[in-house]
Amino acid sequence: MSNYRPETICVQGGYTPGNGEPRQIPIVQSTTFKYATSEDMGKLFDLEANGYFYSRLQNPTCDYVAAKICALEGGTAAMLTSSGQAANFFALFNIASCGDHIVASSSIYGGTFNLISVTMAKMGVETTFVAPDCSEEELNAAFRPNTKCVFGETIANPALTVLDIEKFAKAAHDHGVPLIVDNTFATPVGCRPFEWGADIVTHSTTKYMDGHGAAVGGAIVDSGKFDWMAHADKFPGLCTPDDSYHGITYAEKFGKEGAFITKCTAQLMRDFGSTPSPQSAFYLNLGLESLHVRMARHCENGQAVAEFLASHPKVEIVHYCGLPGDPYHEVAKKYLPNGSCGVVSFELKGGRPAAEVFMKHLKLAAIETHVADARTCCLNPATSTHRQMTEEQFKAAGVPAGLVRMSCGLESKEDLIEDIAQALEEI
């Protein structure tokens, strides 16, 4: 399947039914699986044989969908998680634990920022944040002897900055560590980070991959390119025997192609249990079947709305890398040649009061904390997610009080623009 183009993989990847088998992926709604002998079962527990034994670790429905996402990203192994938060936590914690250090772009999703800077800090993992457009010197200066990985987002939520993946990958590799890229907003239809040197890709499948606001989920994909054994001193979890798995050394037994995901499943999924339900994986697969068709439309609508807003006298500034004046326009041309996504953010001249009036009068765009959905939605961080902050704190966080984040859905772009125009008239 991975030899096909992304459009074909979206529709048919991950699952090839045999003669007389279901055309659609079966929902294997079973917690457990039957074996004839204890010996058969024992082999599974020793990771000596492939097979299912308990759905907390692996389930066939989830694996079909993981295989599709793996093929879409051009990876060698993948797993689903119950949320994007779980995907990022697992991807990071699989190689960085107490006493270790992470280098991360400062322009990332708020939930991931909290995960790294608060929760993982409590677990003894320290992080140095760097601006996504920092110089190579600044980036290299962030590394320490105990640095275990570099993290960034292809298109950051909500700042909409675009990561220079090659620059970050080079710095990571020069320091003997992998680059982990959260590819949620771009999706593999827009950008395949492995082609630019990223080693691990994560997703909140809750966003465009599901695309219909139906199921929360996440995914982790391994490129199979990072040579753990060449940096064995940095990655003892992958390169020395795991006592909790009868002394298996993942990098030896499963190679570059399989070690990361096998360890992540066998240890982290076993112990933390952030597993998706087969039903949720089925909904995700329905979304993936049309991802390539939907992304083109999200991009078209995002571009049209961004251009309209940029030309409107009541709008102060528009952040969208598809606009020629945007600071990330050139980077986007390289990494996102087919368009970025449907999310546009902008500031109104009247600040927060203007944003409130504007949003109140929108008829199509509902006020939601969600993004990347078939239905257009919007959010004013100052009156919702960042409500507790003072005016000074807004400025420091790079979230101006008048900022509106609009996620353009799949409706007619003319209707969306007319709705925005009438709401702007009300200010």
By CB under 6 A, name the binding residues for ligand PLP. Answer: 83-85, 88, 109, 111-112, 153, 157, 182, 184-185, 204, 206-207, 216, 218
Nearer Cβ to ligand PLP (9/86): 86
Q: What letter does residue 260 receive in the DSSP assignment?
A: H
Distance CA 18, CA 208 (A): 30
Q: Which amino acid is at 169?
A: A
The least distance separating ligand PLP from the CB of residue 98, rounded to whole angstroms, comes to 23
User: CA-CA distance, 133 to 156, in Å (whole number)?
Assistant: 12
The dihedrals phi and psi of 404, each to the nearest 5 degrees, come to: -120, 130
Closest among 350, 397, 406, 415 to 117, alpha carbons compared: 397
The residue (of 207 and 294) whose beta carbon lies closer to ligand PLP is: 207
**What are the distances in angstroms from CA 248 to CA 156, 157, 199, 200, 293?**
37, 38, 23, 22, 43
Q: Closest approach of Cβ 88 to ligand PLP, in Å? A: 6
For ligand PLP, the closer CB: 84 or 211: 84
At 412, the amino acid letter reads S
Residue 391 Cβ vs ligand PLP, minimum distance, rounded to whole Å: 26
Using DSSP, state whether 130 is helix, strand or coil. strand
The DSSP annotation for 63-76 comes to: HHHHHHHHHHHT-S
Closest contact distance (angstroms) between CB of 180 and ligand PLP is 12
Q: How far is the CB of 155 from ligand PLP (least distance, A)?
A: 8
Q: Which is nearer to ligand PLP, 103 or 315 (CB)?
A: 103
- We find the least distance from the C-beta atom of residue 33 to ligand PLP, in angstroms, to be 28
Looking at the Cβ atoms of 208 and 358, the one nearer to ligand PLP is 208
Q: Which residue is nearest to ligand PLP (CB)?
A: 84
Tokens of 134: 């920092």
CB closer to ligand PLP out of 26 and 111: 111
